[in-house]
């Protein structure tokens, strides 16, 4: 790092997968960052979303699923600040926080994720969006403690997150009194290979999970779920919203270039369009052929680990090339998993325990590799 970079301020917004991978690589490679490098995150830990179904199912403890940030930051000489971003002013090159404070920056990297698509509600039913995961877990635990007699769990959405939560709840022996119903627009896992979605639907049925297809929930009012056309669907004691990813409002309000959904458009180098000193990764970014998943976010980290120091030094940057196929392992809640790779999948009952062991090893390895005091060291 040149002397000119010594006084520069590098702000890392969010402790998502990409930043965790980049920080680990900087540690391994002995990278020297600017003295004034700050990681901003709302929580003192980085949660690993891949282990959330196992946590809900009772297979993992809370401590197994997160990375303590302070020891990691200390190793690299990064300052950790627990704050929530409310706005980004690209004209003044400054980030503003909920506490009213602000920080100017020389170089900014955004890896602050996404939230769950809003489901309009009058508050008559407890509503638990699955993102951010730390908030979801706390709200789920609080709801269970405060409502010991409640039994009717509605899950809105038919994608991987909805399926994993449904299977996790149904696999937890301490939750056997709960009934789970999945309300989905079309079919469960509609975009997955037929052999995977079909077997998963049968597995849900064997677990006692009810599926309501063609039941697009538009809003919640007076203790009932309604379609957008105002037709009543059903009642519930709690609604878990797994309705897809939505952009944080400050992404669009920052005047950065965004796509129609509000996610920040980036160059192949992961730099924001027309903003060479702002990098964007993970769910926050919008790039062709780049789905929002942990698999791609981890690979963003490899590019950030090279490009952020290169940008500071004035060296050429590396492009990110999204892989054409990615492996997805869906937890079945009881230690098993089903696999999807591109347009093919594996969901045979004999394979599930093997795939589950593989998923567990991958998940635990992530925690171990990115922790100073990892749960599995």
Give the CATH number, domain containing residue 189: 3.50.50.60
- 194: pLDDT confidence band, cut at 50, 70 and 90? confident
* Domain termination residue (choose one: 244, 279, 301): 244
User: For residue 264, is pLDDT > 50?
Assistant: yes
Look at residue 375 in the predicted model and tell me its pLDDT. 39
* 30 assigned to some structural domain: yes
How confident is the model over 316-332, as a mean pLDDT?
Answer: 89
Q: Are 305 and 21 in contact (CB under 8 A)?
A: yes
47 lies in a domain? no
Q: Which structural domain range is residue 18 located in?
A: 3-42+83-114+247-324
Domain count, the chain: 2
* Among 244, 277, 294, residue at a domain's last position: 244
Question: pTM value?
Answer: 0.92
**One domain, residues 8 and 106:** yes
Instruction: Assess whether 166 and 223 both reside in one domain.
Output: yes
**Interior/surface letters 25-34, b for 16+ CB within 10 angstroms, e for the rest:** ebeeeebebb
Domain for residue 333, yes or no?
no
Check residues 295 and 126 and name the one with the higher pLDDT. 126
Question: pLDDT digits over 234-246, tens only?
Answer: 999 999 999 999 9
pLDDT for 373: 60
Taking only the tens place, the pLDDT of each residue in 125-169 is 999 999 999 999 999 999 999 999 999 999 999 999 999 999 999
120 and 218 belong to one structural domain? yes
- The predicted-structure confidence for 296-320, as pLDDT tens digits, reads as follows 899 999 999 999 999 999 999 999 9
Q: Has residue 263 been placed in a domain?
A: yes
State which of 128-132, 176-180, 187-191 shows the largest mean pLDDT: 128-132
Q: What is the mean pLDDT of residues 355-372?
A: 91
Domain membership flag for residue 104? yes
> So what's the pLDDT on residue 214?
87
Distance CA 197, CA 256 (A): 38
Under 8 Å between Cβ of 99 and 83: yes
Percent of the chain at pLDDT > 70 equals: 95
C-alpha to C-alpha distance for 173 and 290, rounded to whole angstroms: 38
253 and 151 within one domain = no
């Amino acid at each position: 790092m040149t002397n000119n970079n010594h006084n520069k301020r590098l702000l890392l917004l969010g402790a998502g997968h990409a930043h965790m991978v980049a920080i680990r690589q900087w540690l391994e490679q002995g990278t020297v960052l600017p003295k004034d490098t700050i990681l901003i995150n709302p929580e003192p830990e980085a949660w690993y979303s891949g282990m959330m179904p196992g946590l809900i199912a009772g297979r993992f403890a809370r401590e197994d699923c997160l990375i303590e940030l302070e020891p990691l930051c200390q190793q690299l000489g990064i300052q950790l600040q627990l704050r929530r971003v409310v706005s980004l002013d690209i004209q003044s090159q400054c980030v503003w926080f909920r506490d009213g404070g602000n920080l100017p920056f020389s170089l900014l990297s955004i890896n602050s994720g996404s939230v769950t698509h809003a489901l309009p509600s009058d508050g008559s039913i407890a509503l638990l969006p699955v993102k951010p995961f730390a908030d979801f877990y706390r709200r789920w635990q609080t709801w269970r403690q405060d409502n010991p007699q409640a039994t009717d769990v509605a899950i809105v959405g038919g994608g991987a997150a909805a399926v994993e939560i449904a299977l996790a709840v149904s696999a937890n022996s301490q939750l056997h009194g709960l009934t789970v119903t999945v309300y989905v627009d079309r079919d469960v896992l509609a975009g997955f290979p037929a052999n995977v979605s079909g077997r998963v639907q049968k597995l849900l049925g064997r677990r006692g999970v009810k599926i309501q297809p063609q039941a697009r929930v538009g809003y919640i009012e007076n203790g009932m779920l309604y379609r957008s056309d105002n037709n009543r669907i059903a009642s519930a004691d709690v609604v878990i919203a797994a309705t897809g990813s939505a952009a944080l409002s400050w992404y669009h309000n920052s005047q950065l270039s965004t796509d129609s959904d509000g996610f920040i458009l980036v160059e192949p180098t992961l730099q924001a369009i027309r903003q060479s000193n702002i990098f964007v990764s993970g769910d926050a970014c919008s790039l062709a052929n780049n789905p929002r998943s942990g698999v791609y976010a981890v690979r963003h980290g490899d590019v950030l680990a090279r490009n952020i120091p290169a940008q500071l030094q004035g060296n050429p940057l590396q492009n990110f090339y999204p892989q054409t196929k990615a492996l997805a392992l869906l937890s079945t809640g009881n230690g098993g998993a089903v696999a999807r790779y591109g347009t093919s999948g594996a969901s045979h009952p004999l394979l599930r325990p093997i795939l589950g062991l593989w998923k567990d090893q991958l998940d635990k390895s992530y925690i171990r590799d990115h922790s100073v005091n990892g749960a599995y060291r």
